Amino acid sequence: MGIRHKFFPELRILALPKQTIRDLDLSGKKVLVRVDFNVPLTKEGAVSDDRRIKAALPTLNFALEHGASLVLVSHLGRPSGKPEEDAAFRLDRVAERLQELLGRPVTKVNDTVGPEAQAASSTLAPGGVLVLENVRFNPGEKKGDPTFAAALAGLADAYVNDAFGTCHRDEASMVAVPECFPADRRAIGFLVEKELQILDTLLGHPKPPMVALMGGAKVSDKILVIENLLPKVERLLIGGAMTYTFLKAQGHPTGKSRVEADKLDEARHLLQLAGDKLVLPQDHLVSTSLDPSAETKVVAGTEIPDGWLGLDIGPATAAAYGELIKNAGTVIWNGPMGKFEDEPFRKGTVKVAEAMADSAAVTVVGGGETAEAVEEFGYAEKMTHVSTGGGAFLECLEGKSFNSLKVIPDR
């Protein structure tokens, strides 16, 4: 399966040898699809960003077009186990949005493996779509309980993993459930396949030169990623609050900026390991507080004044990073350049997104907040790929393998 890039129509990405939904006998079969519908909701409970639902549509439509019916399994949020608190994590509104996007009826039940789910599954005809209740409402999911897994697998004839954002989890629906099916009835969907193809290219044979941007709050979240990427990249550009842990590690004053004081040795290790590959901001947008209405100014150099905290890269840094992105062959970005949720602190993140959108490079945005940012700023469609996985994307960049994929047979 190749990917057609806006500037490189012939760009090809080698398919990984996992069995895909194309390899399954779908006609007349009930297919249990583990999707990632963990989408953000408004205060009123409506879906505020349906990107992950849309990302699953190619797999779902393929199965339906080939005569299957669907039993969909997803989590939403982090349920506490208390019914009153967990009501906000029910999948009713998600199922409503899926019905709109599919253009066909979608049935949603209020349990996962109970009588209601069993009854709905048993009467599911080809072309039918059933959404089970939030799988994390059942304690057997997080525990990987084999009894729960067997009951869930009993609702269908085949299993498809199309939930890349959860592939790094060893929960029941990701590992124990597929193990309940014969090997020739387990596969990955198109979304997982595409994510793996992109990552295979980034880690195996990226178009040079490769530039990586790492932002966000914590150095500790990116240590293994940085170590794994350093041999592959020409430059590693740093932004976000993690900047100030690096500056502190170099002995520079950081004012009130967020610093991981217990990670200074790790930051020094990365600075030494990276040498001139690691590029820190040359100027900073600083503020007197996190309040968007607080006073701000741009500070050049590596020293943050007392009483001020860094909340974004400065304009000179944004321009310099933009030039490096412009001249790159491959750009991978994970982590915003600043506190982009607030308008005064988002210019650096916007400028980086804009530079990537305008670049002739292969541009990959790695999940979580970064994906939300490029979506919000209107640049998502101009990227080669925007990953649906946050933690899974990062762990792949660290070079980790996942049990959820080990249980899917190779072709």
User: Residue 75 annotated as binding?
Assistant: yes
User: Residue 310 annotated as binding?
Assistant: yes
Q: What is the DSSP string of 87-145?
A: GGG-SHHHHHHHHHHHTS--EE-S-SSSHHHHHHHHTPPTT-EEE-S-GGGSHHHHHT-
| Strand runs labelled E in 269-315 | 278-279, 283-287, 296-300, 309-313
Is 52 annotated in the active site?
yes
Residue 235 pairs in a beta bridge with: 211
Catalytic entry in 45, 114, 127, 391 = 391
User: Residue 169 annotated as binding?
Assistant: yes
- Among residues 28, 98, 6, 17, which one has the least CA distance to residue 60? 98
- CA of residue 200 relative to chain centroid, distance: 16
The answer to whether residues 108 and 131 touch, using CB atoms and an 8 Å cutoff, is: yes
Is 368 annotated in the active site?
yes
Is 127 annotated in the active site?
no
Backbone φ and ψ for 169, nearest 5 degrees, come out as -95, 145
User: Residue 67 annotated as binding?
Assistant: no
Catalytic entry in 128, 240, 368, 390 = 368
User: Residue 368 annotated as binding?
Assistant: yes
Catalytic entry in 52, 235, 339, 346 = 52
User: Residue 377 annotated as binding?
Assistant: no
User: Residue 36 annotated as binding?
Assistant: yes
User: Residue 6 annotated as binding?
Assistant: no
User: Residue 245 annotated as binding?
Assistant: no
Catalytic entry in 142, 218, 326, 382 = 218
**226-238 b/e with 16+ CB inside 10 Å = b?**
beebbebbebbbb
Burial of 147 (0-12, 13-18, 19+ CB in 10 A): exposed
Helical axes 347-358 vs 368-376, angle rounded to 10°: 80
User: Residue 268 annotated as binding?
Assistant: no
Q: What is the dihedral of CA 101, 105, 109, 113, to 10 degrees?
A: -90
User: Residue 369 annotated as binding?
Assistant: yes
User: Residue 235 annotated as binding?
Assistant: no
User: Residue 65 annotated as binding?
Assistant: no
User: Residue 136 annotated as binding?
Assistant: yes
Residues with catalytic annotation?
Answer: 52, 218, 368, 391
> Which positions make up the binding site?
36-38, 52, 75-78, 136, 169, 222, 310, 341, 367-370
> Which positions make up the binding site for substrate?
36-38, 52, 75-78, 136, 169
> Which positions make up the binding site for ATP?
222, 310, 341, 367-370
> Which positions make up the binding site for (2R)-3-phosphoglycerate?
52, 136, 169
